Chain A
Amino acid sequence: MSAETPVDAPVVGAGTFSPDNPAPVIEPPRARTKRTPRATRTNFEMYGWLFMRLSGIVLVVLVLGHLLIQLVLDGGVTKIGFAFVAGRWASPFWQMWDLLMLWLAMLHGANGLRTVINDYAERDTTRFWLKMLLYTATVFTVFLGTLVIFTFDPNIQ
């Protein structure tokens, strides 16, 4: 019965720390203390959670339908061109389909990424700026997409 590694073997950094001068303890990210902010009394996180589930169900239909029409039916991807898009957006049904898909997919993805950032960004400033970048990109994409769907001109030169 013996310890394989002698416990009193010299270790790196030995001598610099003592009972009066202990090594710093590695704190976990964002520990809960008495000063941790208490309830904000909003239902935002609950609505976010519900939205993810409901939009997910709708997106399964919208996205699979979209992929089927664009890539599989009627000659597949080769048929897609300006004329094909113009033909489809002549109908309010496909305009609404694409609009709904754009909004739901962007908000669903943005909320998912917001959660990922909340989980993995350790420093408060990093978390803040990553989220700002995410929100800017989301608003820009949603705005641009909506603008195109509503102002699309099939007779453009």
Chain B
Amino acid sequence: MSTPTLDKHSAALDAAESGAFEQITITLRVRRFNPEVSDEVTWVDYQLEMDPKERVLDALHKVKWEIDGSLTFRRSCAHGICGSDAMRINGRNRLACKTLLKDINPEKPITVEPIKGMAVLKDLVVDMDPFFQAYRDVMPFLITKGNEPTRERLQSAEDRARFDDTTKCILCAACTSSCPVFWNDGQYFGPAAIVNAHRFIFDSRDEGGEQRLEILNDKEGVWRCRTTFNCTDACPRGIEVTKAIQEVKRALITRRF
């Protein structure tokens, strides 16, 4: 048996093999802040020759590698898994590594800012400590009582599906830093912490749900949510964040009455 092959190259493959690619000029407008030089924030425009199929992260790389090495931003995997490069692109929180230039109107200047609600340390890098403190405070780990079983903790497919949506979180902070309540009150747990609490509250193997509900029942907990849906819109993993928050509220009400 022979391996099936394409008789003819597709147009896209032809274009890719010929090495010909479209180049357009884009303007990348970056909000820059360097506390070692000035306490003022400046918007700096960069004119770049880019392929519209490239990502915003590629444009940032081009600036850092070829124009100005002092441009500072976080990125690790560059493929939408690590959640390091959440930033405010054209006024919306997105991952720079998952946003193609052609999808955000490259004819106009593309604005890139750090995510809001956290202290900016330099350029696009923010202080994530309060964000991870909220994450730690909801105890995002399995809590069980009694002896450890000698085999794995079994779970039915239905029980697993109950919290499937919230397991997708990559802790990029796009949701929390898009929340208007969080902008005004950094002590609010924020959508990301509640999503990660939801992941364990509705896990049939976990026995710490009551403790986590107690934490989220507090003054800065789920009752501060105004259901603005900014978090659901911002999530690069498509998690229904507001729905998860509402499910925690419902669990609190049904378990308290």
Q: Which residue from chain B places its CB closest to the CB of A33 in the assembled complex?
A: B133
Q: Is A24 an interface residue (CB 8 A)?
A: yes
Residues on A with beta carbons closer than 8 Å to the beta carbon of B249:
49
Q: What's the Cα separation between A34 and B219 when bound, in Å? A: 16
Does B68 contact A7, Cβ atoms closer than 8 Å? Answer: yes
Within the complex, the shortest CB–CB distance from A154 to chain B, in Å, comes to 44
Residues on A with beta carbons closer than 8 Å to the beta carbon of B118:
28
Within the complex, the shortest CB–CB distance from B227 to chain A, in Å, comes to 11
Does B119 contact A27, Cβ atoms closer than 8 Å? Answer: yes
Q: Is B191 an interface residue (CB 8 A)?
A: no
Contacting residues of chain A (17-41) with chain B, CB-CB under 8 angstroms = 17-19, 22-34, 36, 38-41
Q: Is B7 an interface residue (CB 8 A)?
A: no
Q: Is B46 an interface residue (CB 8 A)?
A: yes
Q: What's the Cα separation between A50 and B256 when bound, in Å? A: 12
Given A5-B44, A43-B217, is A30 in contact with B187 using a C-beta cutoff of 8 Å? Answer: yes
Does B40 contact A43, Cβ atoms closer than 8 Å? Answer: no
Given A25-B121, A25-B127, A48-B223, is A19 in contact with B36 using a C-beta cutoff of 8 Å? Answer: yes
Contact among A11, A25, A36 for B38, CB-based, below 8 A: A11
Does A31 contact B218, Cβ atoms closer than 8 Å? Answer: no
Q: What's the Cα separation between A29 and B134 when bound, in Å? A: 15
Q: Which residue from chain B places its CB closest to the CB of A2 in the assembled complex?
A: B47
Contact among A2, A17, A49 for B39, CB-based, below 8 A: A17
Does A41 contact B40, Cβ atoms closer than 8 Å? Answer: no
Does A1 contact B223, Cβ atoms closer than 8 Å? Answer: no
Contact among B40, B66, B130 for A32, CB-based, below 8 A: B130
Q: Is B185 an interface residue (CB 8 A)?
A: yes
Does A45 contact B46, Cβ atoms closer than 8 Å? Answer: no
Residue positions of B touching A, CB distance < 8 A: 27, 35-40, 42, 44-49, 66-68, 70, 117-121, 127, 129-130, 133-134, 137, 181, 183-187, 189, 214-215, 217-221, 223-224, 249, 252-253, 256
Given A25-B121, A119-B184: 15 more A-B contacts, CB < 8 Å: A3-B67, A4-B44, A5-B42, A5-B44, A7-B68, A12-B38, A12-B40, A23-B39, A25-B127, A31-B130, A32-B133, A44-B219, A45-B221, A49-B249, A50-B253
